Chain A
Amino acid sequence: MKLTILSMAVSILLFTACNNGSKTTNNSVGGIDSAKTEVAHTEADIRTASTKEVISAYLQLKNALAKDNDKDAAEGGNNLVKAIGNVDQASLTVQQSKVFKDISDDAKEHAEHIGSNAGNIKHQREHFEMLSPEIYELVKAGDKTGQKFYYVNCPMYNGGKGGNWISETKDIQNPYLGKAMLNCGSIKEELN
């Protein structure tokens, strides 16, 4: 009898332990959220939040992939998630805002997957390939900095299907093939 009671007690304990487990994962999600709102609350951030941060997080990610660095790429992905969340829609032009509304959810999802896939650079690159045309549209919608960007294509990625990316320099550093073929790619379009 003692044994039964004991085992029941332990099972209940186990069960609640499991529940706690799932709760903590929820909390961690909440944690990200609250971190986000915290960032959003600093006033300087609100004023400067624009597509600029989004693009710079994308470039950080791109450069990490060109170096075959999955950990830095994950960090870039996480920064991109934050940057997208921080964009103050009121600061955008009509055209930018239209594009941003269209891409933000999907781009955020790609960035989340890149952020959570350190150790799997192949998968990070798959999401990067889907993300790049979205960032392209955002850049094309115009940004106030007037910085020049380049839309680059490498025909060799993905068994000859090819892949595109946005670069801040004319110098070609391939984020899909990395060191294996760093200079593969040609500029398709100059932006701004």
Chain B
Amino acid sequence: MSRVTKGFMFLLLVLMFIQFIQPPRNKSRQASRMDITRVFPVPEKIHGILKNSCYDCHSNNTRYPWYAMLQPGGWLLASHIKKGKQELNFNEFGSYSRRRQQSKLKSIANSIKDETMPLSSYTLIHRSAKLSQTERELVTNWLEQMRYSLL
């Protein structure tokens, strides 16, 4: 075997080996009592948009994509979920203080307006998670209304 083939084989083996190291899954079968739908009236359409574009990283249930089975893809996703849930968890929204809820509603609107969310590394593969202009307006208008209802 040449050096190059050996190197290649070696890399392949490493890749095969790391497949056995699967991060734990973000799956909860319980319906959360602190869900955002318990705090605010969330219209079906808005809920659908949030579920499709945000819930994979900001809820207790991720719809795992094919690449989650392939490492290091799954590791990357797991790290996004961990950080994402720390920032914002739609399933735990009711447990936030009133003030934090207000701030989060505004932060969500900001992140959507600035198009920093959903993460671009995510929409690269999940094309349908990208929000259209009308979707952005629909969601941000609703967020504004909900924020006023808290004042």
Complex: A123 Cα to B110 Cα, angstroms:
9
Complex: A40 Cα to B21 Cα, angstroms:
42
Tally of B interface residues using CB under 8 Å: 18
Tally of A interface residues using CB under 8 Å: 21
Q: Are B13 and A7 in contact (CB under 8 A)?
A: yes
Determine the main DSSP class of A at the interface with B.
helix
Q: Are A15 and B18 in contact (CB under 8 A)?
A: yes
A67 located at the interface, meaning its Cβ lies under 8 Å from any Cβ of chain B in the complex: no
Enumerate chain A residues within 8 angstroms of B21, measured Cβ to Cβ. 15
Determine the main DSSP class of B at the interface with A.
helix
Binds B, one of A101-109, A149-157, A165-173, A180-188: A101-109
Q: Are B100 and A10 in contact (CB under 8 A)?
A: no
Give min CB distance, B137 to chain A, whole Å: 13
Enumerate chain A residues within 8 angstroms of B18, measured Cβ to Cβ. 11, 14-15
Enumerate chain A residues within 8 angstroms of B103, measured Cβ to Cβ. 106, 109-110, 130
Beyond known contacts A106-B100, A123-B110: 19 more, CB 8 A cutoff: A3-B6, A3-B13, A7-B13, A11-B14, A11-B17, A11-B18, A14-B14, A14-B18, A15-B18, A15-B21, A102-B99, A105-B99, A109-B103, A110-B103, A123-B114, A126-B110, A130-B106, A130-B107, A134-B99
